[in-house]
């Protein structure tokens, strides 16, 4: 018999004969958690995101930094439209997946569906929705978009066309809610959160540019920040993943007038 591999001390098959064909399977290579997490096609997508996403330029002297800042504006604009307003990383995806566990995750204002796709690749059950108001069809439509920005809706993942609060009501069985860069000039975030009855919220963005004060007050009142994950960000932006768990829930809160939804008398 050929020399035994080092991890085998003795081999005896059921007939009591040493037999190479009966060798136990070699121990598997220690699993690389990132390989488990990211299938090959997704790994390529992450490489693309790194290539087209924000560039590290911290060490530059001031004039060069200013030039870089200006260059990054057009790169960012393209990235926002084609990928996402926040730059996902494998670590952020893993953290969100671990937080959400086996809950169904509803994303509202999902745009291209990039985050939904990456989360679904690691086993999260995701439903992505967006009202399509920022989706560019023709150049004319693009110019009339409320923000002046456009997104390629559903580029990475099926995105149902429905407004935020309607999506929450339609998918009332989803226990976790995802909001990535909800606009600050429209009430998407507070409307979706007010209608939501689940217990986990994933909010991604920069506080100074997303959602509104009603949303912030609601979070401060009824939600507990559990963890944050920092993300690569564009110059002047501070993008972070915030993981929240519902802190209090009772009928008096459910009935509390929401100035955003109930006109004040
Ligand atoms: C800043 S973009 C962010 C898109 C996506 N989350 C991302 O990170 O790329 C805001 C998105 O919210 C959507 N949106 C705006 N108002 C909405 C509403 N009332 N209901 C649902 N989606 C809305 C827009 O169509 C747009 O796709």
Pocket of ligand 1 (CB under 6 A): 84-86, 108-112, 130-134, 151, 163-164, 180-181, 183, 186, 188
Sign of the C-alpha dihedral, residues 164, 168, 169, 170? positive
Cα 179 to ligand 1 centroid, rounded to whole Å:
9
Helix (H, G, I), strand (E, B) or coil at 31: coil
**Confidence band for 28, pLDDT divided at 50, 70 and 90:** low
Query: pTM of the prediction?
Result: 0.80
pLDDT of residue 57: 65
pLDDT of residue 249: 62
pLDDT of residue 32: 47
- The pLDDT > 90 percentage for the chain reads 58
Helix (H, G, I), strand (E, B) or coil at 177: strand
Average pLDDT taken over every residue of the chain: 81
What's the CA gap between 235 and 66, in Å, rounded?
A: 10
What's the CA gap between 67 and 61, in Å, rounded?
A: 10
Domain borders along the chain are 40-255
CATH topology of domain 40-255: Rossmann fold (3.40.50)
């Amino acid at each position: 018999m050929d020399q035994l591999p080092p991890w085998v001390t003795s081999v005896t098959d059921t007939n009591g004969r040493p037999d190479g064909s009966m060798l136990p399977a070699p121990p598997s290579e220690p699993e690389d958690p990132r390989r488990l997490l990211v299938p090959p096609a997704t790994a390529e997508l992450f490489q693309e995101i790194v290539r087209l996403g924000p560039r590290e330029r911290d060490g530059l002297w001031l004039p060069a930094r200013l030039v870089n800042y200006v260059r990054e504006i057009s790169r960012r604009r393209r990235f926002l439209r084609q990928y996402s307003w926040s730059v996902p990383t494998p670590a952020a995806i893993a953290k969100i997946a671990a937080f959400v566990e086996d809950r169904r995750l509803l994303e509202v204002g999902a745009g291209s569906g990039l985050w939904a796709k990456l989360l679904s690749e690691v086993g999260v059950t995701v439903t992505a929705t967006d009202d399509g108001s920022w989706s560019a069809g023709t150049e004319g439509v693009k110019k009339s978009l409320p923000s002046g920005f456009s997104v390629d809706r559903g580029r990475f993942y099926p995105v149902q066309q429905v407004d935020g609060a309607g999506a929450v009501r339609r998918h009332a069985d989803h226990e976790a809610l995802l909001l990535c860069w909800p606009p600050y000039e429209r009430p998407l975030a507070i409307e979706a959160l007010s209608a939501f009855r689940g217990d986990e919220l994933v909010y991604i963005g920069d506080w100074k540019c997303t959602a509104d004060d009603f949303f912030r007050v609601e979070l401060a009142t009824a939600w507990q920040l559990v963890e944050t994950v920092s993300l690569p960000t564009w110059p002047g932006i501070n993008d972070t993943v915030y993981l929240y768990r519902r802190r209090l829930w009772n009928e008096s809160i459910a009935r509390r007038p929401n100035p955003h939804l109930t006109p004040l008398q």
